[in-house]
Amino acid sequence: MTLHDPNPPRLRVGIVGASGYTGAELLRLLVHHPSFDLMVATGDSQAGKAIADLYPSLAMAYGDRTYDTYDPDTLDGLDVVFCGLPHGVSMNVVPEIKGRVGHIVDMGSDFRLHDAGLYPQWYGAAHTCPELLAEAVYGLPELFRDKISGAELVAATGCNVATSVFALAPLLAAGLIEPQGLVADIKTGVSGAGRPPKENTTFCTVDEDTTAYGLLTHRHTPEIEQALADRTGANPSVLFTPHLVPMNRGILATCYGRPTADAAGATSADAIAAMREFYRGEPFMVVSDRSPSTKATLGSNAVHLTARVDPRTGLVFGIATLDNLVKGASGMAIQCANLATGLDERSGLMGPGVYP
């Protein structure tokens, strides 16, 4: 299957939870998808409301179409269902629809961890269907493409983890950094906190402010460690600290590690070369000498990366940026759905970034 197939297959898709920011981004991206036809778009808190009234930017594409009420019967027979639900909700919805639809791509964190015992520790509640964790495939295509192809249940990776893993995995895989004591420093836009209003995301709170949060206990920490371990065979430990910055969307990760003994004398050119080799042939990965910027990825499914070795401090670090609502959420989910259904994974996702 190529992007230029004159007769692409038609697949029927639905979105459960289409009224949040990631749901709105899915609605935007699906307009340009050559194979996916949207049949159902639920948003229980907005059921019956016109999509264009909540998101006027989508008016040209969706006209008077309204949000549907969630009913698993309306999803029967769909080829793909995307779940854009808050943590703790997907684990109740997925068992209801699994087996009734072809493929499920969950954009939340309910099925990302292999070990059910980690959920009480990091999320504060037990998993309600731990038996499905073994069936869920971790949805990070650049690292686990073969496992995603044909998968019935995909747990698509989120923005924090994807950006951190993209920066660190090539350096670990090349033996340039030790797996222990890794540091992932994240700057993230406010849309990553979701659409519902929160005290810490109001304009007056966020404007002209930067705040570190989730100190030492951020729930995405074990997921970063798990993805790195699964891809590289290492046993990593990561100190993950995100920072909320006053921008709508975008995420930048600067990730540090200590060099291995074998990497003594390595240079920045070596680190960048390792990153280029790791992502060779990847359509959405842009590796260069440039320092990546969040705006360069705005609206696209691209990831911009670079790396450096500092001979003065001895530290090695990688930098990655992406749009948290596209490659960090909805674009990642579509890429996973493309793979799961046998389509070219680039389908509907090759639009460049928006600038300025």
| Of 77, 61, 255, residue with least CA distance to 166 | 255
Residue 173 structure tokens: 């895989």
**Do 35 and 347 contact (CB within 8 A), yes or no?**
yes
What is the rounded CA–CA span in Å between residue 31 and residue 99?
27
**Do 46 and 68 contact (CB within 8 A), yes or no?**
no
> Considering 159, 204, 255, 336, which one is annotated as catalytic?
159
**Do 316 and 256 contact (CB within 8 A), yes or no?**
yes
Residue identified by tokens 């729930």 is: 219
Query: For the CA atoms of the chain, what is the radius of gyration?
Result: 20
Cβ atoms < 10 Å from Cβ of 217: 10
**159 a catalytic residue:** yes
What is the rounded CA–CA span in Å between residue 94 and residue 308?
42
Type of residue found at 202: T
Residue 285 structure tokens: 């990965």
ω into residue 196 within 30 of 0, thus cis? no
Type of residue found at 231: R
CA 284 to chain centre: 13
Q: At 177, give phi and psi (nearest 5°).
A: -130, 150
Buried b (16+ CB within 10 A) or exposed e, 243-265: ebbebebbbbbbbbbbbbeebee
Q: Could you give the residue numbers annotated as active site? A: 159
